[in-house]
Chains A and B, each alone.
Chain A
């Protein structure tokens, strides 16, 4: 059924700290590594070492430049994967019932055996969380590593999504965002976690933690120029000699 559940028992999701993320892409690579052998295996990887590589990734790291009004710029690395929305439009548009949101944990999944590959779900998602597998002819997406988080054969500390376990900086946390007392909910509350594009009305579960403000607010935005524009070589020599 592609009608959404009224409520889910849990709201499993990720909290991503943009203040910590260093943009190393390890989460994206380990996601690909795990999932190409997991629930949605294989993840297409065409012309991987050639001039025009293409394929399915569940997690991609974008890098944005953010420039404040007073001209102070900063770089923000921005990993993006499925937000496992409460009002997931990708689920309700699915004509076949292949897309569904699980009642027990809120994870949004695709049943590859029912998917007809119409791609409408990827049009309905404002975040670009769904990627079409040209080879298999079906839509694929982040599973929140259901084949890890419930996997009894893994040691307990490994039962988190691949992106979370691999992040060398500790920028990613996994847990139940529906439980206000969970570690991830508390972390999100403490740090002002926010949802992406709330105006789309999708109610994402994943939360992003904003980059912290710079420690020194009185620091100059830019150094003063060392040489005046237009001064020729001789004039600059003269300037140096006369300034001695």
Chain B
């Protein structure tokens, strides 16, 4: 009897038992619509050596399913990188230094919405938003305060900034200069992923074409002048937060990535010159094994895309390096301490999936920005996984799990179907302009909401296991006067700086934007001369126009 026959016989027996005593559900299906079997048995890759080499291989080797480095966390743990930022540059600087003193190994900067959309803190559009979801940065002065006493040659800094990524990168480089740190010694990441802003996150400024140019300019500039900078963090995180399934998260993210690579190649860049600096950013949601499978599938798919579609030769171009954040939308406002447990499971999935860096959410984030206490527990969660659980001591510990390997294959298979369809639509930019990704995500989000309201999806503490009296914890309050304080600071800056110098720099930027030159050096110069983010972005708005989202 073969394994297959014995498996069939076993299933038949169990079916008889199930006929008498039913299982919890008549059908088990995960959120990506993948049926979940009662039991998994070895797949081809586990019994056939050639298939193993082809599908799984070895860590640090193509197709990188099991990890991009040969030793993974036996060498060093993932980077524990907590996203932080609120209020003024001084306050965030204090939180940064606290996190570093607590053993955090990299910084991750959250900017407020005016900064992310290229408005100065005193702009009328900034009303009510200054310092709310991140730190308010209008000029290099704020950036100098933000990194006060933090040596930029010793930390790596990730910045969640997209439409005006060039401006914030320029500010960071100018601060490095003022600290005497050469650009070749700074390291970090700008998110710089505009496509998912159109799809899911909403902090766009310019239309797709000039936005893609700004991104390509950063690729090109950093390849020459800032070699340790990750020039983009192609993000599935927000796509997932907007409601997509795990499969859509992988598919849409890789489709966007394909568009960026194609755009850079079309601009004349050699793929192996910039591709090693591309990085990714994924979500870790609740379905533990599906998430692990998702990370493994994404790694394998990217390796194939880069090797076969773009003809990359450098192995580093084929390695999908990614940051993970636990799922913000899975946090509940009800019984917020339960979120610590959710975050733990999600963080564990990210680690078992081989993430390069990780942000764990705080328990109170469905209510407000995290307090210092909550932020510490979130960091401790990662440290307990790293130092106490033992999961980091071997590479890809779930490789060979019958279930995880099967899920990895089905995530990949379904994601390819989406990518093929998006290719048929004309690629990611076209698919976004037609609203395709947005509608797919919205549909998944709505289905989930309905399932929760029907009680088909259980959310502990929300639609089951509720308590009568919710006690709201102490929350972080952002100084409501900050907008006015920032406005005063800006007024002083505008008085102190040399008008001739900054207007000259802005004019040079304006004419460069009208041509095809790389804009980065012009933006760096404008920042040096104390032009503000709003002034720089307004110059670019006047040349590029603003994005108008499609109505559908």
Partners in one complex: no
